[in-house]
Amino acid sequence: MLTNRVKIAVLVSGGGTNLQALLDAQRAGTLHSGTISLVVSSSPTAYALTRVAEAGVPALTVSRRDSGGQAAFEAQLTAALEEYGIELIILAGFMSILSRDFTDRYPERILNVHPSLIPAFCGKGFYGLRVHASALARGVKVTGATVHFVNEIPDGGRILLQKAVDVLPDDTPETLQRRVMEQAEWILLPQAAELVSANILQKETETT
């Protein structure tokens, strides 16, 4: 039985349903190699903050606008991550772009969930409902979700997990988003969090 757990920070901007999936996995014990130690929101009004308050996890807001630019925003974010001893960062609907300066500091230590099968419908400008609207406009019959490591290229890091989801004839961006969340994102993200946390613990054991 492992007593040591990888300290995870979850970065959010909106509803926080993926954060909820991670909190639920932790409660259920399927996420056990890592522990959610901090939640950072880019918006003070994100509903994700209500979810995290209910779970009793420390949370704070760091916004690029209030910080006064990208460098100051990332400095504030880094200070918070260091203060909490964070070893793994999970972007769960986090809508602020992170610079190369930031991503280079955490190689293969930042995960992101994206609501399509990368390389389709990804990169700059593809986020949230826009991804699903684009998939419907293109007429694809299958879409899905991807969990990948984050590097300096938007949605360009190494792919870890993917799951396909059917597009149905009467789908709207909203119905498709919900199905992709239920059938893919909320399953893949906790799986990836456990997988990567277990790998980090394993490497720590090998080097001690």
Is 114 tagged catalytic? Answer: yes
Examine residue 113 and tell whether it contacts ligand GAR (CB under 6 A): yes
Examine residue 34 and tell whether it contacts ligand GAR (CB under 6 A): no
Please report the DSSP string for 152-205 in residue order: SSTT-SPEEEEEEEEPPTT--HHHHHHHHIIIIIHHHHHHHHHHHHHHHHHHHH
Among positions 7, 70, 128, 178, the unique one binding ligand GAR when judged by CB under 6 A: 128
Examine residue 16 and tell whether it contacts ligand GAR (CB under 6 A): yes
| Interface of this chain with ligand GAR, residues 163 to 192, rule: CB under 6 A | 181, 185
Candidates 2-10, 29-37, 96-104, 125-133: pick the segment binding ligand GAR (CB under 6 A): 125-133
Task: With beta carbons less than 8 A apart as the criterion, state whether 137 and 105 touch.
Answer: no
Instruction: Tell me the number of residues near ligand GAR by CB under 6 A.
Output: 17
**Catalytic member of 32, 114, 132, 148:** 114
Candidates 11-19, 78-86, 97-105, 160-168: pick the segment binding ligand GAR (CB under 6 A): 11-19
Q: Which residues are near ligand GAR by CB under 6 A?
A: 12, 14-18, 48, 92-93, 113-115, 127-128, 131, 181, 185
